[in-house]
Amino acid sequence: SSTRDEVLRDKRAQILSRGLPKQKPIEGVKQVLVLASGKGGVGKSTTAVNIALALAANDSTKEVGLLDADIYGPSIPKMMNLKGNPELTPKKLMRPLKNYGIACMSMGFLIEETAPVVWRGLMVMSAVEKLLRQVDWGQLDYLVIDMPPGTGDVQLSVSQNVPIAGAVIVSTPQDIALLDARKGAEMFKKVHVPVLGLVQNMSVFQCPKCKHETHIFGAGGVRDLAKSLGLDILGDIPLHVNIREMCDSGQPVVISQPQSDA
């Protein structure tokens, strides 16, 4: 028993001595921005798509890419109105599909639209590594990574293996979402990724007929969380049917209605 304890202690010491994996930049990418949420269904992918488009719209000299790191539920292909399989370069790298000037890569391009991904963790990690390293991104000023919800293997692997300029946490104002958003922010803190701030999504609903405003998910919850974490609020996004409809039709609101309040 004591011998076994010593062996376990030695193994633990060896693992700890290795430290975190060495970060390696993504070929051709200057800055990596990750969009994360502790909880699913808070509009993170919608926000990621519109942020990527906004970065390009604000400065036409900048090249922007969008990586869908959600292996189980890829939604970027539909939101960016893209279908098909990536072509391979002579070096066997995948070429991203492009729309609205944004280079996009997603698991959704590699499997059938209705096919479930029934994989264990190691296969998922291998897929994420391929999407990061085996893609010919060209020369990008920004790569926006749409993370899967939660604080699991994918989030940790990306955070520890890729130099990240900053993370943005997306949450709705309701208490259940805020609990998970806090966990997301704390996770990035632990792996030394700077959190740029929080986005409060679905903050208010305005009746299209009478214009009365209702805080369906509560009011100001994300603001209180940001204050307690010492972070900035980057913006409030209303719960608006146009935002949802435009993304579902593959015409995100930043492209289709750039002058609208949304």
pLDDT per residue as tens digits for the range 200-243: 888 888 787 887 888 877 777 888 888 888 999 898 888 888 88
**Is the four-CA dihedral 262, 63, 162, 146 of positive or negative sign?**
positive
**Is the four-CA dihedral 219, 222, 228, 234 of positive or negative sign?**
negative
175 located within any domain = yes
What pLDDT was estimated at residue 116?
67
What pLDDT was estimated at residue 19?
56
Residue type, 184: G
15 located within any domain = no
4: three-class secondary structure by DSSP: helix
Residue burial 2-36, b: 16+ Cβ < 10 Å; e: rest: eeeeeeeeeeeeeeeeeeeeeeeebeebebbbbbb
55 located within any domain = yes
What pLDDT was estimated at residue 157?
83
9 located within any domain = no
114 located within any domain = yes
Under-50 pLDDT residues of the chain = none
What pLDDT was estimated at residue 5?
75
Indicate the number of domains in the chain: 1
132 located within any domain = yes
Find the CATH number of the domain harbouring 142: 3.40.50.300
Q: Are 242 and 253 in contact (CB under 8 A)?
A: yes
220 located within any domain = yes
Domain residues for the domain of 206 are: 21-256
90 located within any domain = yes
Secondary-structure breakdown of the chain: helix, strand, coil percentages, each rounded to the nearest 5: 35, 20, 40
